[in-house]
Structure 1
């Protein structure tokens, strides 16, 4: 398993869509936490996006998983960056 940092970018005009679908989005994330696939997730303080930390076999596995996000299916995400990450110290370092 690899660890990936995922950055979502939100358009300001998608706030109402995100608000409407946030319960399903968070339920989806909570299920992935239980499976060990999501290590952390949360919005940026300015509301312009979010940072999510996932485990996945590879980037293809990650992208397949991200397509299942309710935010993705309703067009709430305007941009996304995925980066494989190797934490050296801290809470996630023992996972690599």
Structure 2
């Protein structure tokens, strides 16, 4: 299956909501990781967003998974960018 990089962009205005929803958001992502759908995840150190790496059939599938993310459901992500990614080094190839 293709691998997708998802970039979340946050704003300072969403900090209180993200702080409140973060435990449920992380629980949701942990479930995707356990399934093997989410390969890696983590916030940017400056708080501007996060990177999520998915193994999914297509971008539509990733979009459906993202729509169920509690951060997305609570409108805490200002921008979402989904791109197919072709790792060449340092990442398990498919």
Name the TM tier (shorter chain).
over 0.9
TM-score computed with the length of structure 2 as normaliser: 0.96
TM-score computed with the length of structure 1 as normaliser: 0.94
Runs of 4+ in 1 over 2 A off after TM superposition: none
Give distance in 1, aligned partners of 2:16 and 2:88: 38
Give the equivalent residue in structure 2 for 1:34.
34
Partner of 1:88: helix, strand, or coil? coil
1:59 aligned onto 2:33? no
Query: What is the Cα deviation at residue 90 of structure 1?
Result: 1.0
CA RMSD in angstroms comes to 0.7
Query: What is the Cα deviation at residue 13 of structure 1?
Result: 0.8
Aligned residue pair count: 94
Note the residue ranges of structure 1 that are not aligned, 5 or more in a row: none
Note the residue ranges of structure 2 that are not aligned, 5 or more in a row: none
Matches of residues 10-21 of structure 1 in structure 2 within 5 Å?
10-21=10-21
Matches of residues 1-96 of structure 1 in structure 2 within 5 Å?
1-92=1-92, 94=93, 96=94
